[in-house]
Amino acid sequence: MSRVRRKPGTKEALLAIGRPLVLEPEKIKGKWKDYFQNDRPIHIELGTGKGTFISTMAQQCPQSNYIGLELKEEILLTAIRKALGLNLPNLAFIWGDAKNLTDYFMPGELERIYINFCDPWPKTRHAKRRLTHANFLNIYNRLLIKGGEVHFKTDNQNLFEFSLNQFCEQGWQLKNITLDLYRKLPENNVATEYEQKFVEQGLKIYRLEAKTK
């Protein structure tokens, strides 16, 4: 993945946006239904990128609330500006890190977590940084409702095999596993920016759904 150039003024632009950016998610921990002003399920994408996936999901599924979490401020600003033009009351963004999820949400506050084309961290010594490492899975298991799910996509075969093993070892229930998503593409598939790029390059897309243990 290419490195994002830091642009002067990005931080100031984010601080000036207000809703749908939640600048202090720690203060809304346990109160997200109050933020959205409804009791609908909450779905979050970890590493939302330029926001195509999460904005599309929010448009297509108004019966759920969506949150895009992104650490890189330049990319986040692009995603939020895209969302502002759509005026989606069921969409919010967090400028934060997945490792801090327990600071943002109470146990059982989330129904679904999307992990799309995350950094594979290929070196063995960096395995704990992978968003499907057991340490992260234990966090997700606490924050998801009973029967909540993680939906995972990647173009990296090694990361996918690693993730399958991690989910199985932690006792998650796996379903809808595919080693080539576009061989028989589901009608409800929503593609990310990276996904579109990888498919154009002829790469396989791996996908799974995992239910809490």
Please list the active-site residues: 119
Phi, psi of 160 (to 5 degrees): -65, -45
